[in-house]
Structure 1
Amino acid sequence: MPTHRGLRHLALRVTDLARSRSFYERFLGMKVVWEPDPDNVYFSSGSDNLALHQIAPAELAQYQPLGGQLLDHVGVILESPAHVDEMFRDVQQDAAQYGATIAKPPKQHRDGSYSFYFTDPDGNVIQALYEPTISRMEFLPPA
């Protein structure tokens, strides 16, 4: 079996592509790497790939989010607990204008990690995480 290079691609369907695009650019610093048409945009932070796909207008009227999210959360790795706190303050200050919210405030975890949770405009939960092992790894900046 071939060894993979990590889980580095995520695709999300969104109800308002422009709003979600602004959110991911603003809070996660994602850079556009490909925009094939007005309904799709692909981002990267250097070592990953995030795709946002606009829900088609014919489906949008019928779109009913589940009462709960099947995917528990998506995580982004930060280099230190101080960076987690800085991001928390930043998201807390501006999240509402993007239709986002803080889901859980910063917390120290038993394994030495430290994080907080927030939502994107469609309610997907994102964990901003300092994890002692992964946070020390080198990642490429966006091209």
Structure 2
Amino acid sequence: MSLPLHRGLRHLALRVTDLPTSRRFYEELLGMKVVWEPDADNVYFSSGHDNLALHQIPQNELSAYRPPQGQLLDHVGVILDNPQTVDRMFTEISPKIARLGGTIVKQPKQHRDGSYSFYFSDPDGNVIQALYEPTISKLRWETGT
């Protein structure tokens, strides 16, 4: 099998109901840095390895917006170095998360495959897994082109 032509799933775009609230959430909890803000309805972040775009649902669509009973996207994940980092992140964000519009969905837990994680949601209910995964967490990313 040959290697994939892509370099990973490193871009995610989310539609949000309140851009300032979501922006604050991703900046304060995940340390995302703004790399481009083309207008008041869009902001693009980077972690240094990944890119996250937040797009405000237009006002003329917002009143008709009805979040699905169950989202098709189960969750997205952020990779952490080790189980201790998962616990440290959980301890650090737990007191802040409700103030920023999110919730803790699941407490830290060891999984059958050796991974370790907890889940939390953003202000729009998108679930994020803070994950130590034995194979992926060992990878080191290049910092250049």
Q: What's the TM-score once normalised by structure 1's chain length?
A: 0.94
Which aligned pairs between 1:1-143 and structure 2 lie closer than 5 A? 3-139=5-141
Q: Distance in 2 between matches of 1:34 and 1:26?
A: 17
Deviation at 1:140, TM superposition (A): 5.7
Q: Distance in 2 between matches of 1:140 and 1:104?
A: 32
Q: Is residue 43–residue 50 contact of structure 1 (8 Å, CA) maintained in 2? A: yes
Question: RMSD between aligned alpha carbons?
Answer: 1.4
Q: Deviations over 1:62-115 (max 9, x none)?
A: 111011111000000001111101111122111111110000100001111100
Q: Distance in 1 between matches of 2:71 and 2:85?
A: 27
What runs of 5+ residues in structure 2 fail to find an aligned partner?
none
What runs of 5+ residues in structure 1 fail to find an aligned partner?
none
Q: Distance in 2 between matches of 1:102 and 1:18?
A: 21
SS at match of 1:116: strand
Amino acid at match of 2:101: G
SS at match of 2:119: strand
Identity, % of aligned pairs?
71
Amino acid at match of 1:125: V
Aligned length: 141
SS at match of 1:98: coil
Q: Distance in 1 between matches of 2:71 and 2:32?
A: 23
Q: Distance in 2 between matches of 1:139 and 1:58?
A: 41
Structure 1 runs (4+) deviating above 2 angstroms are none
Amino acid at match of 1:28: L
